[in-house]
Chains A and B, each alone.
Chain A
Amino acid sequence: MSESIFNELAQCVIDGNEEKARIIAKRIIEMGLDPLKAINDGLMKGMRQVGEDFSNLKIYLPEVMMAAEAMKAALSILEPKILEKKIMEERRKVVIGTVQGDIHDIGKNIVALLLKANGFEVYDLGRDVPIDEFIKRAEEVKADIIAASTLLSTSMPYMEDLIKMLEERGLRDKYIVMVGGGPVTREWAKSIGADGYGEDGDEAVRVAKELLKVRGK
């Protein structure tokens, strides 16, 4: 019984059906089922499928965005009912944004959505984000990862500034810093002291998971 309703919830995410996702989530609570299980076996299962379909170009960015909205709607109902708060708090947090001077955000949006699809709690700061804003937000939400993106070679130095500012403020070891975007290369990421680089969204997710594992998080 619970499996079928969790599958129904997963399907709401796949279909991007925000309204139905909310209704199913309420029904799960009324039925006294475990909300944490509903998140893992329903919402996350659906988002994993969405992420996979997007990587294979079976669906496109608007469908992924709608799926994320459906997940958010159901989460707003399920999350407050979770008794084991600690487990929820263990979801890894990423603060992500397109760096200063750059208003291109599709690549960053894709990475943010794929991270969400893989269970990360994502704080998307948008585009043209000043570097101190990344740090301020990361401190506020106690982030694990700061992820910075750009499509412009002339905004790449701001990524370097971000790392330097973290060092200056004695915060560098607190965060995993990942960079990516059109002109950003693996070699350059290494040269500025970033911890990780993603050539595309899939690699960004994989590297984020690996880095967390290495740091024992």
Chain B
Amino acid sequence: MMSIWEVLDRAETGQYMDERDFDLKIVAKRCKELVKEHDIKFNPSEIITTDDSMADDVFEAGMKLALDTGIYCISTKRIIKFNEEEIKEGMETAPREVIVGEGRDARVLYARGIEDARRPIICGGQAGATIPEEWYVPMAMSYMKEPLIDMINHGGIAIVEGRKVRTHSPLEIQATRRELSMLREAAARSGRPGIGLIAGESSVSALGDLAIASERYMRTCDSHLVALLNELKTDYDRLSKAVNFTEYGAYNVTLVDPIIGGYAGGPEGVAICFIASFLLGRLLYKSEYHICHPIHFRYVSTSAVECMWNLNIVGQAMARNAKFIIMGDVWTSAGAGSEMIFYEIAANTITNVVTGTHPLGVSATNGKYPHASGLETKFMAEIAIASTKLNRRNANEIVVNLAKKYKDRMSNPDIGKPFPELYDVRKVVPKSEWMELYRRMKEEIGEIIGLW
């Protein structure tokens, strides 16, 4: 596979283009054309489809989009293009499994298939959120103490030692190092020192990321996210992160989060954009694995019906044609401490597991408030493990019914309660009220889905 050096060369020598032209005349135009050409249709009553030919069509269209667009580098205003041979080489060399974490906490993260009966890897934490420094360790421990949770992707910190962290300021370095120190402390205190981390969330620019490439903070068995910017774009901050970790030896993970309603269009265009992003992200960032995170333009949440359809079709398209390791995000509108969050978690998680991705979450309130804890992520793990018994047809029926329970409340969700109101922070155990709600909802949803 081509080197990162070649990628950087192309960022400097590729075709010059105005960014707006790339957005509208290339990405938007081609997505629209390809949806029509391949007759791809979103059907809200088939959130999980059994139509294999549509999955293959989405993949084929995504491959065409990848070849036509390439990746736009905002820093140089040039397009980094890849040819078919290079993309196919990226597919062939993509790892089918990687080992995350170390020692007895190490896990094999693998490329899932459709209706895969193997136990999925559970990645827990309130990814994407800003967590107060004073609760960070106990909150991270609340996930690590759950034995069903295999690896961690928790939020970042935006205030360090009472000082607000501003993007590109030196405090970004301290915040990111503090985040890693606290994660490692939480892991040790939870008796899981080797648990695999996806971290460095406090590093918005490349600054913090560069500062944690050391065994003291981020080990080579850990991972960081390198986002593709919306849509099919990158910049020197993202490329710096990829270069740094490629040389350091830890895992690069492409975060792909196209917006439904954005430049790629509706759910159908976004599905195609996802495939192109995964194929190109593999070459651009040398990614070992990938995150699938559709964003709803209004609700954000991956539990929105359109987003779950995307997780489904993209997961299946990749599982049938490219066999990448993919984690599917579980981002809910509701917060921990609410009833609503359980329905969202169940629907989103079943969709992911049955259609070829490992669940990553729960990012409650879409990461807006620190209203999250390990307990609802334990529920996500239980649902995920139970979902391995489902086929797509049964899963669809369940997911459509679960979505009816919350979809009309997404614009005004119950945001629940902050972590210290849900857990005894000193003992890091759920408070009785939260535990009772979890038990009740587990039983109620268990009856609806018939999984335990």
Contact = CB atoms under 8 A, between A and B. Distances in A.
A60 B368 contact: no
A57 B165 contact: no
Interface in B325-364: none
Given A101-B168, A154-B165, A154-B167, A106 B262 contact: yes
Given A60-B266, A182-B368, A154 B297 contact: no
Given A57-B297, A60-B266, A152-B204, A157 B164 contact: yes
A193 interface: no
A66 B266 contact: no
Given A101-B204, A183-B130, A54 B166 contact: no
A153 B229 contact: no
A103 interface: yes
Given A57-B297, A62-B28, A106 B230 contact: yes
A104 B230 contact: yes
Interface in B64-98: 74
Contact of A154 (B172, B368, B369): B172
B158 A153 contact: yes
Closest 9 pairs between A and B when the two form their complex, measured CB to CB: A101-B167, A62-B28, A153-B130, A157-B164, A153-B158, A154-B167, A60-B265, A155-B167, A154-B165
Interface string B181-207: 000000000000000000000101100
B263 interface: yes
B285 to A, nearest CB: 17
B259 A106 contact: yes
A120 interface: no
A103 B24 contact: no
A61 B266 CA distance: 9
B172 A104 contact: no
B272 to A, nearest CB: 13
B230 A154 contact: no
B300 A152 contact: no
Nearest to B298: A200
A102 B23 CA distance: 18
Contact of A155 (B156, B166, B369): B166
A110 interface: yes
Interface string B245-281: 0000000000000011111111001000000000000
Nearest to A100: B167
Contact of A103 (B165, B202, B235): B235
Contacts of B369: 185
A157 B172 CA distance: 13
B367 interface: yes
B143 to A, nearest CB: 20
Given A106-B230, A153-B130, A153-B156, A183 B28 contact: no
Interface in B99-157: 130, 156
A17 B299 CA distance: 30
Contacts of A47: none
Among A54, A154, A160: residue with most chain B CB under 10 A: A154
Given A57-B260, A101-B166, A157-B164, 8 more contacts: A61-B28, A61-B263, A65-B24, A100-B166, A106-B230, A153-B156, A154-B175, A158-B166
Interface in B289-313: 297-298, 300, 306
B167 A185 contact: no
B166 A183 contact: no
A104 B266 contact: no
Interface in A72-87: none
Nearest to B165: A154
B368 A183 contact: yes
A156 interface: yes
Interface size class, chain A: 20 to 34
B167 A54 contact: no
A117 to B, nearest CB: 15
A154 B24 contact: no
Contacts of A155: 166-167, 204
Contacts of B366: 182
7 contacts: A61-B259, A62-B24, A62-B265, A101-B166, A154-B158, A157-B165, A182-B367
Interface in B358-397: 366-369
Nearest to A127: B74
Most buried by B among A62, A100, A157, A158: A62
Nearest to B415: A185
A97 B168 CA distance: 18
B237 to A, nearest CB: 8
Contacts of B204: 101-102, 152, 154-155
A6 B269 CA distance: 33
Contacts of A61: 28, 259, 261-263, 297
B229 A104 contact: yes
B166 A154 contact: yes
B32 to A, nearest CB: 8
A183 B164 CA distance: 15
Interface in A8-60: 54-55, 57, 60
A152 B261 CA distance: 21
A57 B24 CA distance: 18
A110 B260 CA distance: 13
B167 A152 contact: yes
A66 B24 contact: yes
Nearest to A57: B261
B25 to A, nearest CB: 10
Contacts of B300: 182
Contacts of A153: 130, 156, 158
Nearest to A99: B167
Contacts of A110: 297
Contacts of A55: 298
A41 B196 CA distance: 60
Interface string B10-51: 000000000000011000110010000000000000000000
Interface string A91-102: 000000000111
Contacts of B263: 60-62, 106
